[in-house]
Amino acid sequence: MANARQVRKALEKAGWKLVRVHGSHHVYRRADRVLVLGAHDSEEIGRRLLSRIATQAWLSLDQFRRPL
């Protein structure tokens, strides 16, 4: 699917702002929503987790799959 670095780039491209980082947990904010992505850069993110992240971030799965 996608690794954590690709997901972070897609979130930032979609307007999510990085608020803070604590270890491998990256906290993003957009409008009144907060999203926590807990994964190392090279770690692969599975289909189910990627789908849940996309739902929380108001994005489609295709936005994570296309090259950034």
Over 60: is that where the pLDDT of 51 sits? yes
To 10 degrees, the CA torsion angle through 51, 56, 59, 62? -10
**pLDDT per residue over 14-33, tens digit each?**
999 999 999 999 999 999 99
Domains of the chain in sequence order: 2-63 (3.30.920.30)
Over 70: is that where the pLDDT of 67 sits? no
Q: Where are the alpha helices (DSSP H) in 1-68?
A: 4-13, 47-56, 61-65
Q: Which residue has the tokens 């929380």?
A: 56
Tell me the whole-structure pTM to 2 decimals. Answer: 0.86
Residue pair 10/59 in contact by the 8 Å Cβ criterion: yes
Dist CA 21 CA 59 (whole Å): 22
